[in-house]
Amino acid sequence: LELETALRKAVEKDEIDLHYQPKVALNTGEYTGVEALARWALNGKMISPQVFIGVAEEAGLVRVLGKNLLYKACLNYKKWVDRGVAKGRVAVNLSPSQFQDERLVAEVEEVLAETGLPADYLELEITESMVIDETEKAIAQMHNLRRIGVTLAVDDFGTGYSSLSYLKEFPINKLKIDRCFINDMLNSKRSKNIVELIIEMAHTLDMEVVAEGVETSEQAEALNSMRGEVAQGFLYSKPLSCEQMEAYLIKNF
């Protein structure tokens, strides 16, 4: 409850910040886009977004917080586009109630209009678990988002329970392979096989693959030889502050 009170204040005072982690093309090593990650420091201590997004969900704060973070990400990315340093898209994570909200599409359109960011620069990440209940409704929501020109990715793929019969119906552009598979793909033949299968399946469904949590060049090489498209992880960069990310973009353009 104390955390909830503190979070409410932080949302009101707009103290939740965004960091950015670059994504890199596996075949060239070139920068291809960023993921925006929420950061909250409470009395100097970082609280994990997994924790405070959960608190925000329970406290009914997600609508305001989610919209603020989306606004911030789009406004900032528009700035990088205007300066000519942006390549690819900015990916923003949606939380479950945000994705399930019928007002989401209108809100995204509003944020894009207000910030001036073209929809083609925005990617939204959802997780499999958001799609388990009311799958038909979720698929309709995905179509509505695609219709306004937004790109969609499924985050943490492989850890949820989405059935293949539904996955083929999802109007999704990208699958992000959860880092647990990447983490032991070079020690475990089984994990490596799973990664390979996910990549093949994604390509069969015309989806691109993003490998999460890539920490070594051996992992990157293996993923590239399996035809994975994009990687993200500490091998390239940890999540960076806005200023650090801007410097990275200028350096890597």
User: Which residues would be at the binding site for ligand G (CB under 6 A)?
Assistant: 21, 37-38, 48-50, 53, 69, 93-95, 155-156, 179, 212-215, 233-234, 239
Q: Looking at beta carbons only, is 128 or 155 nearer to ligand G?
A: 155
* Residue from 35, 128, 156, 229 in contact with Na ion (CB under 5 A): 156
> What backbone torsions phi and psi does residue 155 show, to the nearest 5 degrees?
-85, 155
Q: Are 136 and 169 in contact (CB under 8 A)?
A: no
Q: Tell me, rounded to whole angstroms, the distance of Cα 37 from its chain centroid.
A: 8
Q: What distances in angstroms separate CA 94 from CA 38, 99, 110, 236, 244, one per listed residue? A: 11, 6, 16, 24, 24
Q: Which is nearer to Mn ion, 37 or 220 (CB)?
A: 37
User: 215 touches which of Mn ion, Na ion, ligand G, none (CB within 5 to 8 A by kind)?
Assistant: ligand G
Distance of closest approach, residue 12 Cβ to Mn ion, in angstroms: 26
Binding partner of residue 162 among Mn ion, Na ion, ligand G, none, CB cut-off 5 to 8 Å per kind: none
Burial class (CB in 10 A: 0-12, 13-18, 19+), 151: buried
Q: Which residue is nearest to Na ion (CB)?
A: 156
Nearer to Na ion, 93 or 141 (CB): 93
Q: Which residues pair with 18 in a beta bridge?
A: 38
Contact map string, positions 198 to 217, toward Na ion, x by CB under 5 A: --------------x-----
Position with the least CB separation from ligand G: 233
Q: Judged by CB, which is closer to Mn ion: 125, or 229?
A: 125
Number of residues binding to Mn ion, judged by CB under 5 A: 3
Angstrom distance (rounded) from CA 155 to CA 126? 6
Among 155, 167, 181, 228, binds Mn ion (CB under 5 A): 155
* Interacting residues with Mn ion between 70 and 129 (CB under 5 A): 93, 125
Q: Rounded to the nearest 5 degrees, what angle is found at the Cα of 251, between the Cα atoms of 248 and 253?
A: 100
Residue carrying the six token digits 């994504």: 23
Strand partners of residue 153? 125, 174
The nearer residue to Mn ion, 78 or 176, going by C-beta atoms, is 176
- Residue 162: partners with Cβ closer than 8 Å, 6 or more residues away: 128, 131, 132, 154, 170
Selection from Na ion, ligand G, Mn ion, none that 37 binds (CB < 5 to 8 A by kind) is ligand G
What CA–CA distance (Å, rounded) separates 2 from 170? 39
> Does residue number 229 form part of the binding site for Na ion (CB under 5 A)?
no
Stretch that binds Na ion, among 115-123, 151-159, 188-196, 240-248 (CB under 5 A): 151-159
Beta strand extents in 43-150 (DSSP E only): 45-47, 89-93, 122-127
- Site of interaction with Mn ion (CB under 5 A): 93, 125, 155
Binding site for Na ion (CB under 5 A): 155-156, 212
